[in-house]
Amino acid sequence: MLTPERMLRATVELIFVLLGTLIAWLALRGRILVDRHGRMWLVLSVVLILWGLRALYKPGQWWARWENWTRGLSLVLLGILMLAITRVPFAWVGPMLVAGGAVLVLRGIVAITLLLRPS
């Protein structure tokens, strides 16, 4: 039986899977528009990198080590990908957004797998 805390964390990770799927689908269809040269895009990418590094650095319970690494690494990768989007040619923006969605989907699947494994 799942505790309410683990069930909530699994639900949050399912939301990441759905969000990543939505971003990838919209990017593949060409229906997602971002201001990749705007200040907020840059701020968001730096915040994601810092948040991910904080998750990697933050001490936690020993049994949640892999979950924290998954969360932190995915946020750092997503932030780096968003920073790279500001410098690539326009034709590469769609595939890079698909890659960002894939990072979120992969993070959710790995985290749910780690959460639901037997203790």
Q: What's the confidence (pLDDT) of residue 32?
A: 87
List the structure tokens of 103: 């990072």
Q: What's the confidence (pLDDT) of residue 100?
A: 97
Q: What share of the chain is helix, strand, coil (3-state, %, to 5)?
A: 80, 0, 20
Q: In this model, does residue 119 exceed pLDDT 70?
A: no
Cβ atoms of residues 28 and 94 within 8 Å: yes
Q: What angle do CA 48, 50, 56 make, to 5 degrees?
A: 105
Q: Which residues contact 90 (CB under 8 A, 6 or more apart)?
A: none
**pTM recorded for the entire structure:** 0.90
Per-residue pLDDT, averaged over 22-49, amounts to: 94
User: In the predicted model, what is the mean pLDDT of the chain?
Assistant: 92
pLDDT digits (tens, 9 = 90+) for 58-106: 777 766 788 889 999 999 999 999 999 999 999 999 999 999 999 999 9
**Residue among 22, 21, 16 at smallest CA distance from 113:** 16
